[in-house]
Amino acid sequence: MSRLIHRAAGWSGAGVLVLMAIGFVGLARFFPPPSPALSAEQTAAIIIGHASFIRWGMILTMVAAVLLGIFAVSIAVQMRRIEGRFPLLSMTEFGLGMLFVLEFLYLLFFWQTATFRADRDPKLIELLNDMAWIPFVGLTGTAAVQVACFGVAILIDRRPVPVFPRWLGYCNLWVALIFCAGTFNVFFKTGPLAWNGILAWWLPVLVFAVWLIVVTIYLRKAIDSHIDEVDAAPSNKELAVQLDDLQGQVRQLLSQASPKL
């Protein structure tokens, strides 16, 4: 295995956090989110008022989305170590991770489209903004099941030295549950379940940021232990030499036994 590539992939979670902070928060100024209760004119003023910053912010956020896909692959590789020959959970985590990246990327283009024409009717800008924010907060299924699969894989690890600490498995299950609150933002324009509410936005975003940091730390440790295992395992060349030695010993034993027969 390529040590450099796997170790770099382990840092992709931190890259997601940095790029999201610069692009989504710093440039696009989407943190905190604009209220869904704003009028069409107020929403259009926010979008058109700093359109260039939103465009550049979304471009950086797209790069963050790609890094999130690499992060999902790196997690799946370590989950595969736990599951062995039948990696149902790791394959599910990998597949949903790729789907989540696609969902993520497409929603960013709604915000970019909203900035494209300054003379657009405010109602249409409001529509594009709604089409971005509602699924951005509400598309929770892929992320929740992805994280839950990761948690279950950790909890079924029966290796003498587990790949990840057991408490991280329970943590992932709680994170998956917290993500689900945003699903219901389509029903509310104000309150804790609106797209800027404490349950639909603030708590999941805070938990997601902490999850990225914690998983990056323990994923890096898992990758290092994986590399140590690979280094300690005999190479194909060494196995071939050992096999030749065993075959020689068998032939010698058979030749010694043949006169007696």
State the DSSP string of the chain: --HHHHHHHHTHHHHHHHHHIIIIIIIS--SSPPPTTS-HHHHHHHHHHTHHHHHHHHHHHHHHHHHHHHHHHHHHHHHHHHHTT--HHHHHHHHHHHHHHHHHHHHHHHHHHHTS-TTS-HHHHHHHHHHHHHHHHH--HHHHHHHHHHHHHHHT--SSS-SS-HHHHHHHHHHHHHHGGGGGGGG-SSSTTSTTSIIIIIHHHHHHHHHHHHHHHHHHHHHHHHHHHHHHSPPHHHHHHHHHHHHHHHHHHHHHHTTT-
pLDDT level of residue 23 (50, 70, 90 thresholds): very high
Best-predicted range by mean pLDDT among 42-51, 154-163, 224-233, 243-252? Answer: 42-51
Cα–Cα dist 49/114, whole Å: 11
**pLDDT for the residue 63:** 96
Please indicate, yes or no, if residue 222 is contained in any of the structural domains: yes
The mean-pLDDT minimum among 112-116, 131-135, 233-237 falls in 233-237
Burial classification of residue 107, based on how many CB atoms lie within 10 Å of its CB (0-12 exposed, 13-18 middle, 19 or more buried): buried
Please indicate, yes or no, if residue 259 is contained in any of the structural domains: no
Q: Is the pLDDT of residue 73 over 70?
A: yes
**pLDDT for the residue 114:** 95
Q: Is the pLDDT of residue 239 over 70?
A: no
Contact 60/29 with Cβ under 8 angstroms?
Answer: no
Q: How many domains does the chain have?
A: 1
Please indicate, yes or no, if residue 56 is contained in any of the structural domains: yes
Q: Is the pLDDT of residue 138 over 80?
A: yes
Contact 140/183 with Cβ under 8 angstroms?
Answer: yes
Please indicate, yes or no, if residue 244 is contained in any of the structural domains: no
Please indicate, yes or no, if residue 254 is contained in any of the structural domains: no
Please indicate, yes or no, if residue 246 is contained in any of the structural domains: no
Portion of the chain with pLDDT greater than 70, in percent: 87
Range of the domain at 13: 3-235
Q: Is the pLDDT of residue 258 over 90?
A: no
Burial classification of residue 20, based on how many CB atoms lie within 10 Å of its CB (0-12 exposed, 13-18 middle, 19 or more buried): buried
Mean pLDDT in residue range 209-223: 94
Mean pLDDT in residue range 123-127: 96
Please indicate, yes or no, if residue 240 is contained in any of the structural domains: no
**pLDDT for the residue 4:** 82
Please indicate, yes or no, if residue 247 is contained in any of the structural domains: no
Q: Is the pLDDT of residue 173 over 80?
A: yes
pLDDT level of residue 242 (50, 70, 90 thresholds): low
Contact 40/126 with Cβ under 8 angstroms?
Answer: yes
Cα–Cα dist 174/153, whole Å: 14
pLDDT level of residue 74 (50, 70, 90 thresholds): very high
